[in-house]
Amino acid sequence: MDFRKIEWIFFIAFFGINIFLFSIYWSGRHEQSLVTNSDQREDISQRLQNDDIHYKGTISDQHFEGYYLSAEQDDLFGLLDEEVNASVRSSSYVSDKVLTSTPLENIKFDLKETKKSFNEVMRDPQFILAGDQYMYVSSISKKDDEGSKIVGAQSYEDIPFIDETSRVTLSVEASSDETSHITGYTQTLLKDIEPLREKMSLYSEKEILNTLYINNNIPPGSTIQEIYLGYFRTLEVREKNVYVPVWFVRIENADKVVQIEKVNAISNQVISNNSVSKVENP
């Protein structure tokens, strides 16, 4: 047995783990929003009201649970070569792990029953690869007269991946007869999704809004349009990606400009301006 080779394999494995743990430590020290200030006694809802910040609905204090996840982005060539997907193969191409496809026939889509219509087309293996792995995500979908973008994503224990490495985007256009049809789609896919450590309690909407507020990420006079939870890629170690649960907060300021703020749901730190850290081969 080649013990030298085994030792080298273990060295690489432990090096990768150490890099991952160090990145979390570094992130915890240097990410934006080191101030959490949980000692403020005034409720966040009242502080938002004082600054004329509006939010339709109720700010939840529910604590969900999530993981640090590891996954690899599929290159999609293997799935595209399967005979069962012959019609997909003939109308598609893959570039940089993104599949682009144009339907060979007219595929109707009902924008009034978006979720139902999305689930129907995802079940058709002659239209899309591994479609049953995607769930409709209304928060990142867009509907308008110029052309709708209907987005779905993979999920892990009912929390979707809000990340471009796991996404299907349907382009839907209205016809002259007031029906809509799919003109094409793009797709990315994750494989080998697995937790890196045990399940953890996540910060609530109320807690992360407090963090955004005291770090001046919510301008006075603005409107919080939506808050949603999803897995987001923060680290790339060779072919593996690391994902963390993130709260996304869509905010429209007084000038009608929309911004998306991101808060790490495990650490309660703002990561809106952070880029994906990359670790090359040791």
For residue 216, the Cα-to-chain-centroid distance in whole angstroms is 24
Which positions ≥6 away from 84 have C-beta within 8 Å? 125
CATH number, domain of 204, equals: 2.40.128.690
pTM for the full predicted model: 0.84
Closest by CA to 148, choosing from 113, 181, 176, 119, is: 181
Quick one: pLDDT at residue 105?
85
Answer yes or no: do 39 and 81 share one domain.
Answer: no
Domain match, 59 and 161 both: no
Q: Assess whether 64 and 202 both reside in one domain.
A: yes
What does the alpha-carbon distance between residue 200 and residue 2 come to, in Å, rounded to a whole number?
Answer: 39
Residues 180, 273 within the same domain: no
The pLDDT, as a whole number, for residue 280 is 66
pLDDT by 10s per residue, the chain, length 282: 454 554 544 445 545 555 554 455 445 444 444 444 444 457 899 999 999 999 988 899 999 999 999 999 999 988 777 756 677 777 889 999 999 999 888 899 999 999 999 999 999 988 998 999 999 999 999 988 778 999 999 999 999 999 999 999 999 998 766 789 999 999 999 999 999 999 999 999 999 999 999 999 999 999 999 999 999 999 998 889 999 999 999 999 999 999 999 999 999 999 998 888 877 654
In terms of domains, do 108 and 131 share one? yes
Which pLDDT belongs to residue 274? 85
Quick one: 110 and 171 in the same domain?
yes
Q: Check residue 63 and give its pLDDT.
A: 97
Do 147 and 79 lie in a common domain? yes
Domain boundary (140, 171, 191) is at: 191
The pLDDT score that the predictor gives to residue 32 is: 42
The total number of structural domains in the chain stands at 2
The CB density around residue 41, as the number of other CB atoms within 10 Å, is: 4
Range of 51's domain?
A: 3-68+196-279
So what's the pLDDT on residue 36? 44
Domain stops at, among 133, 161, 191: 191
